[in-house]
Structures are given as structure tokens and as C-alpha cells.
Amino acid sequence: MASVQLKNLKKAYTKDNLVIDDFSLDISDGEFLVLVGPSGCGKSTILRMIAGLEDITAGEIFIDGNLVNDQPPKNRDIAMVFQNYALYPHMNVYNNLAFGLKLRKFPKQEIAKRVKLAANILEIGRYLQKKPKELSGGERQRVALGRAIVRDPKVFLFDEPLSNLDAKLRVQMRAEIKKLHNELQTTMIYVTHDQVEAMTMGDRIVILKDGIAQQIGSPMEVYQVPSNRFVGSFIGSPAMNFIEGDLTGNVFEGPGVKVELTDIEDQSNQKRSITLGIRPEDISIGQGQITAQVIVTEPLGSETIIHIKLADNPLVIKYPQLVFYKPGEKIIINFNTARIMLFDTHTGKRLK
């Protein structure tokens, strides 16, 4: 196990193409940290710089207190799990697991011991004589995890390892990786574009945009107290609703909505341009003074996603029961004012 420190990292492929800009982060020994953001935000680049697979333009990387900028990947004592599994198709599972240890001249007895341990942890012992082509996607990903486990590294790096799996397998493998972390207590750095993976797996989450960390915190911190509009919109499913309007004193007024915010003490009565944010689960139906029009209803069994239109502004409601409304039907809705967030319309910074 080891801590990882990233100090003022920069990565530029050309003078005008700065991918990572002055990125610093301390990752604790044994922590499960998730880097999350849209495609092209730089999360995989950071991971590859930690692994030594990508050159650093500027900054420093420390693993277990040692500067590793100039160390090749094989000397950094890390193990990486890739999106495409990267298994050797001509080798059976046992030899895929053992290959890296054989290269390092480990004794046969030690190799067998480590392979057996990894196979037991991941429940793949019955596949050891099979080739990768005989395995399902989830089984192949378990083998890829096993190949990392046998290394007994100081740090595990995961580069979107579940993106090739179907929805059911992704849920299963999320639990498997989290269980693996609980058992091994090894430092893990996990890259994903899926905010559900980030929320359910990480001890801490780093939300990235354009190579810059927008917010760093626990899953609940970034969900309940987003630092800006981007974080509020990216974390949460369905995404947060936004309504642009004006705040005068403690009254917000926008297209089709007028809300009094009791926890704001502003006696100036000066009108300000504000964006109101409200999560889909914080909109109730059947009471209040706001009239909306239903666009479409998505029944999901235990809950219902309802797409509505407030004036010309599309919103989404996440209702905790099974209901159905016809397209065009008028409904009365209400906002939970205690859960309303306010953002600066121009900068996106969270104000409340």
C-alpha cells in the first residue's frame, strides 16, 4: 500500500494544446479515489502519467513518498487494469495470471500460491485452464483483475474497466471491485465517465472538466453541495434541473415559476440574474402553485421519470411511485425550497 501525491501536474501535447493544467492531489494510503468527467477532460491522461505511460510536461508524482517522474512503469510498483482486458488470447487463464510473475523470475511455488489466492478472491478457479475466448466479458474482466492482484502492487490503476460490459454485469463488477478494495485495502485510483460508478465506488471523487478539477470530495459532498453548475449537472441521475431567472430579495422568478426562498436574508430588493437548480427528486406532484405540462412518462417499476415543460423550459421529475400521465396533461408541482440551489448565471459558481 502507498500514498500518491500529484504536484502541479501539466500535460501539453503542443504549445496550444494544454490537456492538464496545474493539477495537484493527495491520495491517502488505502484510499479508493475516482476521477470522473466527460470524454476529453483529461482523467485517463492523469492515470497514464501516474503509471508512467505518458510523459509529464511539468510537475511531480510521488508514490509512497518517492519521486517517480523518471522511473519506467515496471519500477513504479503499480498494476493497471484496462478497458479492453488486454489478455493474451493464446494463453489459458492460469498463464495469463502468472505471466508477469514469470517475467520477474518468481519461483514456481510462489507463482502458484499467488495465482491460487487471486483465483479464490475472484472466484475464477474453475476457469484456470480455459482460454479468454471461452469466457464471458465479466469473466475476462475478473481475469484482468486477477492479473493485477497477483502483482501485489502498492497502487491499483483502473482505466474505465467496466465500459465494455452490459448494464447487469457493470452493476455486478462494481460490487466486486469495491469488495476487492475492502479485502486488500490497497490504494486504488479509478477512472470513469459514469457518474453512477463514481458515486457508488469512490471514497472520494474528483470531478474534472477541461483538465481542471472542479470539485474534490466524498460522493455525498459533491452531490449535496456542488461547487458549481457543472458539478451539479454532472453528478446525479437524472441530471439537475436548471431555470434561469431573477432573484429580488428572497423571491426567485423565472419562466412559469415564482418561488419564495425563506433561508435567504436579502433586504436590498436589488434584482440579480440567477440560475435556480433543483434535483428531479425534489419536485413533488399534486400540490403547490406551479402548473406544468407533461411531455412523456417513463415508468421504471418502483419509480417514474416524468419529463415536463414549464413555460418553454424542460424539466425532469423523479417520482418515488409508479404513476402515468398522458403527453400534454397539465399537472401541479411544487419545489422543495430547502433543497433549491442557486448559481451565478454568468460564472456558474454556486451561491446557495
Q: What was the pLDDT predicted at 163?
A: 85
Q: What was the pLDDT predicted at 268?
A: 65
DSSP characters for 215-252? EEE-HHHHHHS-SBHHHHHHSSSSPPEEEEEEEETTEE
Spell out the per-residue pLDDT of the chain, length 352, in tens.
799 999 999 999 887 788 998 999 999 999 999 999 998 899 999 999 999 999 999 999 999 999 999 999 989 999 999 888 888 999 999 999 999 899 889 999 999 999 999 998 888 999 999 999 999 888 898 899 899 999 889 999 999 988 888 888 888 889 989 998 998 899 999 999 999 999 999 999 999 999 999 999 999 999 999 999 999 999 998 999 999 999 988 899 999 999 988 777 665 677 889 999 999 999 999 888 899 999 999 999 899 999 999 988 999 999 999 999 999 999 999 999 999 999 999 999 998 8
Q: Are 295 and 307 in contact (CB under 8 A)?
A: yes
Q: Are 60 and 216 in contact (CB under 8 A)?
A: no
> 37: phi > 0 → left, psi -120 to 50 → alpha, else beta; which?
left
Neighbouring CB atoms inside 10 A of 163's CB total: 13
Q: Where are the domains of the chain?
A: 4-234, 241-344
Q: What was the pLDDT predicted at 58?
A: 95
Q: What was the pLDDT predicted at 287?
A: 83
CATH number for 241-344 (one of 3.40.1360.10, 1.10.10.920, 3.20.20.70, 2.40.50.140): it is: 2.40.50.140
Structure-block grid coordinates of residue 291: 402548473
Please tell me the pTM assigned to this model. Answer: 0.90
Q: What was the pLDDT predicted at 288?
A: 83
* Residues facing 106 on adjacent strands: none
Q: What was the pLDDT predicted at 172?
A: 87
Structure-block grid coordinates of residue 18: 494544454
Q: 279-292 as b/e, with b when 16 or more CB fall inside 10 Å?
A: bbbbbebeebebeb
The domain defined by 4-234 carries CATH number 3.40.50.1000: no
Q: What was the pLDDT predicted at 154?
A: 93
Tell me how far apart the alpha carbons of residues 295 and 207 are, in angstroms, rounded to a whole number: 31
